[in-house]
Structure 1
Amino acid sequence: MDVVIDKISEIESAATSIMEHANEQKKAFANEMDERTAAFDAQLEQETEKEIEKLRAGMEIKMNQRLKKQRDELQEILKAMEKNFEVHHTQYAEELFNNMIKE
């Protein structure tokens, strides 16, 4: 009977040892997965920042091109208005004067 109890005790001790080893491996695996997850998150964040910066730079270039185009168009309009005024300023003054004395 003592032999059976000793064997059961040995089996129980071995089972406990196996369970402890399994728990240690489980913790090590969990730590490894946490590290991998953190590394993946960091890499993803870095790549996302690069893409956002690329998009931002592209949008800034487009915006500056639009602004330049609008400035150029505005300059053309102002030149046309000044030319029109130079050609017709006497006529405008006469019309304004006539409108003022009619009232």
Structure 2
Amino acid sequence: MDDIISRLSEIEDSSQAYVDDAVQKKKEIAAEINARKELWKQDLDAKTKARIAELQKSMNLSKEKKISELKQQSEKAFRNLQDMYDTHHDKYVDMLFSNMIKE
């Protein structure tokens, strides 16, 4: 009977060693997964920041181009109005004066 109890004790000790080993391996795997997850997160953050910077640069270039186009259009419209005024100034004054005195 003592032999059986001794043998069962040895089996229990051996089983506990396997369980302890499995727990240790589980911890190591969890640590490795966490390390990989952190590296992936850092890589994703870097890629995201780079993409955001690229989009901002593209948007800024597009915005600057549009502002330049609008400025050119405004300057052209102003020049056209100025040319019309310079060319027809006397005519406009005469028309205004005529309307005021109702000739």
Fold agreement, TM-score > 0.5? yes
**Which residue of structure 2 aligns with residue 10 of structure 1?**
10
1:46 aligns with 2:46: yes
**Which residue of structure 1 aligns with residue 23 of structure 2?**
23
Distance 1:80 1:6 in 2: 109
Identity of aligned residues (%): 26
Q: Deviations over 1:42-95 (max 9, x none)?
A: 110110110110111011111111111111111111111101000101111111
Superposition CA RMSD, Å? 1.0
1:33 aligns with 2:36: no
Q: Structure 2 regions of 5+ residues with no counterpart?
A: none
**Which residue of structure 1 aligns with residue 61 of structure 2?**
61
**Which residue of structure 1 aligns with residue 71 of structure 2?**
71
Q: Structure 1 regions of 5+ residues with no counterpart?
A: none
**Which residue of structure 1 aligns with residue 90 of structure 2?**
90
Shift of 1:98: 1.9
Shift of 1:100: 2.1
Q: TM-score, normalised by structure 2?
A: 0.93
Distance 2:23 2:101 in 1: 104
